[in-house]
A and B are shown apart, each in its own frame.
Chain A
Amino acid sequence: MNCHQVRQLLNPYVDGELDLMRKVEVEEHLGQCEECLARDRSLRSLRSVIATEAPYYRAPRQFSAFPDASVGGPTGKRNRFTGTRHSRLRLCC
């Protein structure tokens, strides 16, 4: 494999999406090519900074899928799409 072919495969390589044969070919090339190895490290560094620094937004409340069973009552916030009121308590009770 040449540098161009390897660079095309670096993303699936770091994502573990290559079949064994291609994975071995990429690894052989990285063992001999400093520039492609630096790109591999750069990609891993980017993935790592996303994993450690980007927030994972957790759901701010419990959700229900059944508006007819709502016990949220008239104080529930109205969904701007469905016009129904959220049942904020249903899954908590």
Chain B
Amino acid sequence: LESDERRRFEAIVLPHADAAYNLARWLTRDADAAEDLVQEAFYRAARYFHSFRGADARPWLLGIVRRATFDWMKNRPSTIPLDMEVHDTGDDSLDPMSAAVGECGKEDVRQALENLPPLLREVIVLREFESFSYQQIADVIESPVGTVMSRLSRGRRQLQILLTSAMDGGRR
């Protein structure tokens, strides 16, 4: 990049390192891999910066992080398939009896989120940590808004099942 472009890149893309690392860390569940993937994503972002046209670089950068991370995951055996149902109750909203998940502790919440299939985990991370709109999430995951809505709904339902199960286990 030319020096002006380089300064612009450093001003509008590099400040999103936390968001990039958080997404990579949640997807890989591996601190070292996440660090390397974010570095790789920044190299890729610099290479393609000339094609960036938007006002907000964060969704654009996170799209690059996501692609790099899924490339990495394809080459690794995982115990969790990309898009697996934990247990589907068939209802799109949450069980009204499970408001008690609000009492779950940090470790239960972290484990439940880590045990979600990556395709469901990523939409939860983008919505809950980055407060992205459905359209921004759709841009990052390169899918229609309807897919975002459906995955968020399934992801939250599965999280509720996992947390309820963790709480039941803790009571025994």
**Complexed CA–CA distance, A42 and B13 (Å):** 37
What 7 pairs between A and B have smallest CB-CB spacing? A38-B96, A65-B46, A7-B93, A45-B102, A57-B25, A59-B21, A53-B109
Contact of B14 with A91 in the complex, beta carbons under 8 Å:
yes
How far does the alpha carbon of A40 sit from the alpha carbon of B37 in the complex, in Å?
A: 37
Q: Do B43 and A43 have beta carbons less than 8 Å apart?
A: no
Q: Is A22 an interface residue, CB under 8 A from the partner?
A: no
**A26 vs B44: C-alpha distance when bound (angstroms):** 44
Q: Are A42 and B17 in contact (CB under 8 A)?
A: no
A46 close to B43 (CB less than 8 A): no
A75 within 8 A of B: no
Cα–Cα, bound, A1→B153 (Å): 19
Give chain B nearest CB distance to A44 CB in angstroms: 9
Q: Cβ of B101: which chain A residues have Cβ within 8 Å of it? A: 42, 45-46, 49
Give min CB distance, A79 to chain B, whole Å: 5
Apart from A39-B94, A49-B104, A59-B38: 11 A-B pairs, beta carbons within 8 A = A11-B92, A42-B93, A49-B163, A50-B113, A50-B124, A53-B109, A61-B35, A64-B42, A65-B13, A81-B72, A82-B43
Whether the Cβ atoms of B159 and A46 lie closer than 8 Å is yes
Q: Size range of the interface on A? A: 35 or more
Residues of B within 8 A of A10 (CB): 92-94
CB within 8 Å of B: which residues of A?
A: 7-8, 10-12, 15, 17, 35-36, 38-43, 45-51, 53-67, 79-82, 84, 86, 91
> Is B134 a contact partner of A63 (Cβ separation < 8 A)?
no
Judge whether B92 and A7 touch: CB under 8 Å: yes
Contacts of A43 in B (CB 8 A): 93-94, 156
CA A60 to CA B34, docked complex, whole Å? 10
Q: Which of B10, B26, B104, B108 contacts A57 (CB 8 A)?
A: B26
Is A65 a contact partner of B133 (Cβ separation < 8 A)?
no
Taking a contact as CB atoms under 8 Å apart, the answer to whether A42 and B94 are in contact is yes
Q: Given A43-B156, A45-B102, A46-B94, are A60 and B14 also a contact pair (CB < 8 Å)?
A: no
Binary flags per residue of B144-157, CB closer than 8 Å to A gives 1, else 0: 00000100110010
Q: Is B98 an interface residue (CB 8 A)?
A: yes
Residues of chain B within 8 A of A47, CB atoms compared: 128, 156
Cβ-defined contact, A79 with B40, below 8 A: yes
Contact B35 A56 (CB under 8 A): no
**Are A58 and B149 neighbours in the complex by a CB distance under 8 Å?**
no
* CB of B106 within 8 Å of the partner chain: yes
